[in-house]
Chains A and B, each alone.
Chain A
Amino acid sequence: MSKVFIGMPPLPAFGSGNLNLTEPFPRAAARELGNQQLRSNLRHATHTIRDKRLKVVAELPDWEELRDAGSAIKESVMADLPALLERFEANFTARGGKVHWARDAAEANAIITELVRATGAQEVVKVKSMATQEIGLNEHLETEGIAAFETDLAELIVQLGHDKPSHILVPAIHKNRTQVRDIFLAEMPGVDPDLTNDPAMLAGAARSYLRSKFLTARVAISGANFGIADSGTLAVVESEGNGRMCLTLPETLITVMGIEKLLPTFADLEVFMALLPRSSTGERMNPYTSLWTGVTAGDGPQDVHLVLLDNGRSAALADEMGRSALHCIRCSACMNVCPVYERTGGHAYGSTYPGPIGAILSPLMTGIEAEENNSLPYASSLCGACFDACPVKINIPEILVHLRGKDVDSRRGRMKPPSQMDLLMKGAQWAFSSGTHLGLLEKGLPLGRLAAGRSKKIKHLPGLAARWTDSRDIPAPPPASFRDWWAKEHVPEAPITQQGGEA
């Protein structure tokens, strides 16, 4: 039941589409952990790209300053977003483009369907796009009788395999090349039946399949890495050249971009073109950068559209502590260094955005109170590797803690009995808010010694603590706490100088 108070504007709407978990993270993670193939593929891939990133980042003496610059530009964008969006719209429109505003996934999908319908096309080619993954565009178009063909190689593998991407940069990171060959053999029309798992041969098969799509498609759908407000320019950064094919060959181009992707000026792009390729693919520069500004007569698509997507971004923006999650440039550096992602893969996170950034972005966009994503902020040991790797210095661990606080608070005062965790925390609050209390509790240490027995190890604990003793022992506690030792027995040691330099 929604309440609207007079004089109090309602909070922005939360996002929808492929942002929600379908089952709690711990359960999904436990299942994915059991997939040995996934584990070894992920380990190999993340470690390779991690090392490459470290190498090319180390080449730049001003990397920290670049990160600061990127962070500062993004902060200024968030502070001035409405004005920048209007400026972008004016400039994009003045150059012959058309702008459409979509509040959520359903609106965006409806707008795009309408635009494709108007061209009379039954097929569209697609550049890899996180925004269209987020709104579930392909699935929606399919229900409308429009076939969408992914042209990014990894995205194509995922699409043909009736699978979901598990990484934002390397969507098929969880598949090895034999699995790719099997998918191509089963699903790719006209494929060579003697296809082997040789990477060159696999790429060749995809190439000839896609070439026919590029040459016949009349409509292309893309995402955008950046939008430049001052000129109304859009930018797509990619590695394979498939994007440029889509962006230049068809008659109609429809781009879907999250409203947070704006940069104020062309000069700001320079910072991000240094930060993004090095952080994401570990390259100094990506092979293809396409920039377009509205329509150019006689050159490229003549019917150019942009769908500006909110889908929960305004809600994230309204969270003062969490809003810097919107600084994300989708480089994937955080997931490549994350020990949790490395072991569970992207599917465990349920959302289009996996890994550490997904663990904050998805709940911020859908609302932590909704319970759909409230296990995501706990999917981290708070080791901080993501913060170190983030090219725009998003303090992911701090936002994770902030969201955990919001989650705990949102469950306070409901008529449920307290959970074991609630009780543990209440008990610990009592013990830890006074030295006297902790000292009293520590008088029970001999009991723990008794429980440990002759092996001096505690191997089984009841309740929540069993989650610990499932795979780890606890040593027998000492006979007395340090506090007690200090009070009873501490005799200051003579300093070294008075002993003539202890030998």
Chain B
Amino acid sequence: MAYKIVKSQCTACGACEFECPNAAIKFKGEAYIIDPDKCTECAGQADSPQCVSVCPVPKTCVPA
């Protein structure tokens, strides 16, 4: 299981990149992408996925 970023809504603010405890997020092209192999949905690491919590745009970091 992993999260993904809706590219058309991403403002490329980068907040998710350094909040991600797994270093699963990096900038590619015009937006950030989540590496599904590294994403743990923050299970056991935080109360909720950190990318979702810090993302300024609703429904942009969503379950893949």
Asked if A pairs with B, the answer is: no
- B residues near A (Cβ < 8 Å) are none
